Every structure is written in C-alpha cells, then in structure tokens.
C-alpha cells in the first residue's frame, strides 16, 4: 500500500472531533426546558430548549441525541478499530475498511453541518466535515487504484437482493413524505427547518449508489467491491442508529405511529442486520 500518513492523521482528527461533538450532544439531554415557538410557516412548534440543541425542535433534538449516542458507542469505536488495523497492516483489506467507515463519518458530518440549527459547535462540525471529506476523498482515490477480485458469490442472489432493497428502501422511506407535502403545502416534519438533509443524502446518493454498485458487480468491475463495502458498513451503522434514535424519541415522550416504526425504523434495522451478515462474508473471503 502507498503512503497513507495524511489519511491516518485526518482520520485521527475526525475521531477526536466526533468525540467532542457527540459528547456535547449527549449532554444536551434535558427535556424539562422545552418551550413553544412560532416557526417561519406560522405553526407552533415545541422546541428542545437545552444544550447545543436548544434551538432545535423537540422531536429533532431527541433524534439528534440518539444519533450522537450511537456514534459515541458504536461509530467511534468502529472507526478507531479500523484506523488501528490499517496503521498496523497497511493492506488492501484494512484500507478498504477504513475508507468505508470514513464514508459514514462524512455522511454524519454533512448531516450535522446542514441539518442542525446553528450553534456553538459550528466550527467543530465544519472541522469534522473538512477532515472526513479529505480523508475519504484521498482514501477512495488510493483504493480505486487497487484491484479486487469479484468472486461469483458477490453477483449471487444474496447481494443482489441486498443492493436492490437498499436502493429502494432509502428512496421509498422518504419519497411519500415529499409527495404528500405538495398536497398539504408544507412538509409534515419540516418544523423550524428549511429542508430535510436526510432525504437528499439518502435519495440522491445512497439509493443510486446501491444500483451503481449492483451494475459494477455484474460487470465484474473492481470498484463495485469498494462501493459494496461502503454500503454494507454504512447500513450496519444506520441500522444500529435506528435503535438509538427510536429509543430516545420514546424516552422523550414522542408518539411514533406504528406505520412510521415499520417503514423507517424496523426496515432499516433489518437491513442493517442483513448488511452485517453480507459484510462479514465479504471480508472473510477477501
């Protein structure tokens, strides 16, 4: 493997920033300071009122804190483990794992920068975005020069079904909300925000990436293995995130309709378990 010093330094900085931002988020858990406010659409919205998410809506803040907890107990340790493995082994396999988890860190950084109401951690969010972005770009560039075998099992039913489900689910989970918003004139959960960054990332990047990955694997293209690793690792983390987000929403007293639990939380949780099984097989045979 080539000299990866820059990627390792940027990854280490990203881990430090992740710990800082997630700790501040988790420590914002205090739903006793909530208050009502009128949003830009003339609606009365319940606000969180505490910590770095004081100016975020009650529901969004509980979700953000759930995400922060997931990152702190799952994401950070996973990133550290993959970083140490790559520092020790310097192999294609270890580097691919690091690049895959960096893609998720970048996704999270983008969500913070564009999804959370401006607060005192803005510079930390920006620094996290910078570190994860350039670490991922540098990493994906270096790994794209490596050749990976595309064994027959990667073009089989198990991986095909996974990629099709990933591509469809990350689209249909949010698309109906957008269509219904055209009828009502406003997005149901837009609250104090101007857009929903998750819809953009999932429908605009993850969904197409799943089908592109499937196409590349069918063509025995080496980069399809890279995309597959990124998607499986990312969806495993998203699956665990659903547990933390839903748990914090329930703890905050937020009523979650059963259809929402099924179409959003449960589907992504099951998809995360499926991704973990496939990721294990992928790396075991690499």
Per the CB < 8 A criterion, the answer to whether 220 and 150 are in contact is: yes
Q: What is the pLDDT of residue 127?
A: 98
Q: What is the pLDDT of residue 190?
A: 85
pLDDT tens-place string over residues 28-39:
999 999 999 999
pLDDT tens-place string over residues 28-79:
999 999 999 999 888 899 999 999 999 999 999 999 999 999 999 999 999 9
What secondary structure letter does DSSP report for 154?
Answer: G
pLDDT tens-place string over residues 154-181:
999 999 999 999 999 888 888 888 888 8
Q: What is the pLDDT of residue 31?
A: 92
- Environment class of 85 (CB within 10 Å of its CB; exposed 0-12, middle 13-18, buried 19+): middle
- Environment class of 15 (CB within 10 Å of its CB; exposed 0-12, middle 13-18, buried 19+): buried
Low-confidence ranges of the chain (pLDDT < 50): none
Which residues, 6 or more positions from 3, have their beta carbon under 8 angstroms from its beta carbon?
none
Q: Is 35 helix (H, G, I), strand (E, B) or coil?
A: strand
Report phi then psi at 258, rounded to 5. Answer: -60, -45
Report phi then psi at 73, rounded to 5. Answer: -100, -15
Chain Cα centroid distance, residue 106? 8
């Amino acid at each position: 493997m080539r000299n990866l010093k820059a990627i390792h330094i940027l990854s280490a900085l990203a881990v430090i920033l992740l710990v800082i931002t997630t700790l501040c988020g988790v420590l914002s858990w205090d739903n006793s300071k909530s208050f009502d406010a009128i949003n830009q659409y003339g609606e009365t919205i319940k606000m969180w009122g505490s910590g770095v998410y004081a100016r975020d809506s009650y529901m969004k803040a509980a979700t953000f804190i759930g995400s922060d907890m997931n990152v702190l107990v799952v994401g950070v340790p996973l990133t550290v483990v993959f970083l140490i493995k790559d520092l020790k082994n310097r192999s294609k396999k270890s580097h691919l794992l690091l690049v895959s988890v960096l893609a998720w860190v970048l996704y999270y950084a983008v969500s913070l920068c564009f999804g959370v109401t401006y607060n005192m951690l803005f510079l930390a969010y920006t620094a996290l975005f910078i570190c994860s972005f350039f670490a991922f770009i540098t990493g994906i560039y270096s790994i794209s020069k490596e050749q990976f075998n595309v064994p027959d099992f990667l073009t089989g039913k198990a991986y095909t079904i996974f990629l099709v489900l990933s591509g469809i689910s990350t689209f249909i989970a949010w698309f109906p909300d957008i269509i219904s918003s055209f009828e009502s004139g406003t997005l149901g959960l837009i609250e104090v925000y101007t857009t929903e960054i998750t819809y953009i990332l999932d429908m605009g990047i993850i969904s197409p990436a799943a089908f592109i990955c499937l196409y590349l694997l069918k063509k025995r293209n080496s980069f399809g293995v890279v995309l597959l690793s990124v998607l499986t690792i990312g969806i495993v983390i998203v699956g665990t995130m659903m547990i933390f987000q839903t748990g914090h929403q329930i703890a905050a007293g937020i009523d979650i309709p059963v259809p929402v639990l099924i179409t959003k939380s449960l589907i992504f949780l099951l998809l995360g378990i499926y991704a973990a099984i496939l990721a294990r097989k992928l790396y075991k045979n690499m």
